[in-house]
Amino acid sequence: MPLMAIHERLSIHEHPVLSLLGKLRSLPHVEQVHAQLVVSGLARHPFPPSKLIQLLLSFPSPSPSSLPYAHLLLLHSPSPNLFSFNSLIRAHSSPSSLLLFRRLLRYPLLLPNRYTLAFALHACCCSCPATSRAEGEQLRTQALRRGLESNVFVSNVVIKMYGRLRLLEDARKVFDEMAERDLFSLNSLMAGYIGVGDVRRAREVFDDMHERDVVSWSTIIAGYVQGASFVEAMKLFREMQLVGAKPNEFTLTTVLSACSNLVALEQGKWIHMYIDKVKIKMNDRLLAALIDMYSKCGDAGSALKLFNSVDDALKFGIRPWNAMLSGFAIHGLCEAAIEHFERMKMKNIAPDKVTFVSLLNACSHGRLVDKGRLYFESMKSIHGIDPEIEHYGCMVDLLGVGSFERSRRVYYDNAYGSRYGYMECITSCM
């Protein structure tokens, strides 16, 4: 009997190849089973490719090739289903998500649902502002045609999209027209106001909430910190604790920024103890905020002790390194700053623009003119970083230590000449 005839007698879900699907843990295993599905002819059935797509998107540590492979499986599937489309639209970056949505519309039997529209609208939040509004309006039209615009899940993402695009009047209009709202609706509108610096309206939304979650508290506190209202931010944090709301790592990162600006060392220390006590998950942002708080509150020793005590896994990114380098610069520890920068390079931590502002400031404090010039020149020649006004300002300060003529030349040679730079040149020779 032909092989395909035997397979046709078997239930598709009972086929021995499909019994392997639950055991797959990596892309190479998926590729092997996919090859067996192709050889057996099962790849022409809609179920196996769909199952492989879900597996590829659910791996705890997916390969960089997993998403493109899942995309190809969808494109070559004889009868893709809506669940696979929705999963890939959600998983992809913005341009690819929107392209997949357009491809979905070619299948007359596959009708986009609220999840499809919400995932595609979310992609607009992450895409280029120049194109995302037009794309978002087209998606809203699709939602309207399909009777989904009034769905709270879809409307929430529309509010978020308009907030990201800084179109708060449009966001408010959608919010006001919603028949049903939830906490996500309120948080999205409040975040939109925070994004444009309108803390007053954001506070009005916050005060009108009948219930609040950690996102609500974190958003409004971040708004006050962003607006340099640090005392008000700390008051809200205390109120948050009084009502029993539990802060997360984002909340604490923001509050630590307020502590740094208020030079509130005791409050900062309390937050550090709280993190350890309740086992808040440490990440590179929270670690950098703690280091920055200790440094700006005058306790460089605790900052360095913390930096050296954490696992290297938390220092894989640039933020903690920049925070510690800034701390050295603030305290005039120029040799320590340079040693720290060289250690960064040994650890293959790529510096960024912020790194060089602190490094050049440290060289200026230590009157290390030649060293500073070498670091400045290496920005473009070695690291591919274009100097900005802050870097030129540091160089004017640094070269002012040597001679006014060199400072004047830096000022006139840079493309960012400004009143600030001119005044720095003048004061350097006084």
pLDDT in tens, 204-247: 999 999 999 999 999 999 999 999 999 999 999 999 999 999 99
DSSP letter assigned to residue 342: H
Q: What is the largest CA-CA distance in the chain?
A: 99
Residues 99 and 163 reside in one and the same domain = yes
What would the pLDDT profile of 318-335 be if each residue is shown by its tens digit?
Answer: 999 999 999 999 999 999
Note whether residue 336 is domain-resident.
no
Residues 90 and 59 reside in one and the same domain = no
Inform me whether the pLDDT recorded for 293 exceeds 90: yes
Where in the sequence is the domain holding 89, given as residue range(s)? 82-180
Residues 103 and 40 reside in one and the same domain = no
Q: Report which of residues 102 and 40 the model is more confident about.
A: 102
The whole-angstrom separation of Cα 202 and Cα 233 is: 13
Residues 122 and 151 reside in one and the same domain = yes
Note whether residue 285 is domain-resident.
no
The string of DSSP codes covering 221-244 is HHHHHHTT-HHHHHHHHHHHHHTT
Note whether residue 320 is domain-resident.
no
What would the pLDDT profile of 398-423 be if each residue is shown by its tens digit?
Answer: 877 545 555 555 545 554 455 445 44
CA nearest 174: which of 135, 130, 145, 140?
A: 140
CA dihedral 343, 346, 352, 354 (to 10 degrees): 0
The whole-angstrom separation of Cα 241 and Cα 221 is: 13
| Count of domains for the chain | 2
Q: Report which of residues 245 and 37 the model is more confident about.
A: 245
Interior angle at CA 142, CA 139 and CA 147, nearest 5: 125
CB atoms within 10 A of CB 255: 28
Inform me whether the pLDDT recorded for 394 exceeds 80: yes
Distances in Å between the Cα of 206 and the Cα atoms of 137, 201, 212, 255 are 28, 9, 8, 18
Note whether residue 386 is domain-resident.
no
- Where a domain ends, among 80, 105, 131? 80
